[in-house]
Amino acid sequence: MPETPAPRDPWSQVSLVETLLARRSRRFGKGMRLNGGPLAFQSTQPPQPLSLEEEAALAFAACGVTGYALAELPYQTGGQPEAGSGNIMTHFIGRTVPSGDAMHDCTVFVINDQGTWLLRRPQDFLRSEIPDLVQAAEQHRFVELYEKSRVRISERRVDPPREWPFVAPFNKYSANVPGTTYFLPVIEITSLYINVMLSFFDDEFAMFAVDDRNGHQPAGINRFARSAGGHLHDDSKVGRLATISGLESWMCEFCCIEMGGILQNLGLMTAALGLGGFPHFAAHPIWFQALGFRMEQVPSSKLMAFLPVKDDLSIPVAVGLERAGRVLLKSFCPPYYKNMEEAVLAFVDYKFAQGKGTFRDGGAATGWKDGAKVQAGIPKYEDRTIAATIAYCDYIYQRYGRFPCTTGPFRTLLAYQAHHVDTNFYDRFYRAEALTPAHRQHPAH
């Protein structure tokens, strides 16, 4: 009888149910010191960084490319019974976490003792590279994927000032300290925002938007209102009226769901690997300055156009990330575009430019048997849809000085840290089940 081959990765054979049961925040790692109180403890072991293999497995769990989005949506328009704006999709590549419209708006940064890296999103690769990435994932070649995906942005462990409001007091002893690997998801909101508005302002949705910071006046789209002969429902009784604040809350929530999937996957992979780890607050904008983002200064009087401002301070707003003349991340707004009209048109081209747009590239990077044929049947946006989106986006940028007006283009919220646990700490203060066999049998112990 042939011998059963050994599993490629011992942790890949772990039961999902057992991993769900084992998922916990385990904050205390080797080399840490918890000061004062009933759990005061000084680790007697030196910090021990994760192995390349462990980091690679975690990076794949967080945001690895896994295949193709199915995108089984109705794409026809024109009032047909099942018309449905399927062109709200943007990419046709999937990764380990769900993403609204397959936007993949969340970029993960990896920070350790050797430096800081950005992990490229699916759209940051050439489409011709995607099949090899998918095959490597299926074969569990995670180190290879990790090395292909990461782009170094610093030679050191990036860290904001270790004091409140930058780091919560209870996290200072454990977060982003030597020996740990720190995963920081950053969301880019402008692309999702423009994409959604191109659907909201089409003939199927025909939504109307008002500025609740400006007396619920139309948000730059007066001429598109049905009451003015346009196609958007501005009668509140119809139920298709939205506010800027409500829309921008939706955008952030959509992006944060993607971030939540990343954090959950990191927690599950940490448990499967027998590591410690925990998600925690990392929402302060200073992270963008620490990472070296390009910052624009916006007067607070502009951001708070609806309120009197005593001291007109400059508010730093992250708009993109560049290294050595190369743009790694950018937002669909100035300064990368002359104005919001140019930004919206660039986004439309990103999807529909013949031969290179994600909807007009021949369909090779899709899951369809005949991608080109399916793409040919996906309609472009109507001119008035594009014009309404431009007017809305321009109104926000001109009035408030940034896009979106609530947050700016980029946001952080939570980070996730992984590390080797100090079993002595848990043995001293906790019952035996606080650590799993995976923790106790980890080669580091």
Q: Max Cα separation, the chain? A: 83
Q: What is the pLDDT of residue 3?
A: 46
**What residues contact residue 248 under an 8 Å CB cut-off, 6+ apart?**
193, 404, 405, 406, 407
Q: Per-residue pLDDT averaged across 252-280, rounded?
A: 96
Q: What is the pLDDT of residue 387?
A: 98
How far apart are alpha carbons 216 and 257 in whole angstroms? 28
The tokens of 301 are what?
A: 């009087």
Determine contact, residues 185/263, Cβ cutoff 8 Å: yes
Q: What are phi and psi of 220, to 5 degrees?
A: 80, 5
Fill in the amino acid letter for 119: L
Q: 373-381 long-range CB contacts below 8 Å, 24 or more apart?
A: 377/75, 377/76, 378/75, 378/86, 378/87, 379/75, 379/76, 379/77, 379/87, 380/87, 380/348, 380/352, 381/87, 381/198, 381/202, 381/348, 381/352
Fill in the amino acid letter for 26: R
Q: Per-residue pLDDT averaged across 1-18, rounded?
A: 66
CA dihedral sign, ordered 373, 375, 376, 378:
positive
Q: What is the pLDDT of residue 74?
A: 87
pLDDT one-digit tens code per residue, 320-332: 999 999 999 999 9
Q: Quick one: 432 exposed, middle or buried, by C-beta within 10 A (0-12, 13-18, 19+)?
A: exposed
How far apart are alpha carbons 317 and 106 in whole angstroms? 18
Helix axes 244-273, 52-63, angle to 10 degrees: 150
Helix axes 190-200, 244-273, angle to 10 degrees: 130
Fill in the amino acid letter for 97: V
pLDDT one-digit tens code per residue, 276-318: 999 999 998 899 999 999 999 988 777 776 555 566 788 899 9
Fill in the amino acid letter for 288: F
pTM of the full structure: 0.94
pLDDT over 90 (residue 4):
no
How far apart are alpha carbons 343 and 340 in whole angstroms? 5
Q: Tokens 């429902």 correspond to what residue?
A: 233
The tokens of 102 are what?
A: 């397959």
Residue with more model confidence, 81 or 357: 357
pLDDT one-digit tens code per residue, 191-202: 999 999 999 999
The secondary structure of residue 6, as a DSSP letter, is P
**Strand partners for 33:** 42
Mean pLDDT score of the chain: 92
The tokens of 290 are what?
A: 């620490």
How far apart are alpha carbons 403 and 220 in whole angstroms? 14
How far apart are alpha carbons 159 and 109 in whole angstroms? 12
Q: What is the pLDDT of residue 306?
A: 55
How far apart are alpha carbons 399 and 391 in whole angstroms? 12
Fill in the amino acid letter for 4: T
Q: What is the pLDDT of residue 308?
A: 59
**Strand partners for 110:** 117, 183
pLDDT one-digit tens code per residue, 208-236: 999 999 999 999 999 999 999 999 999 99
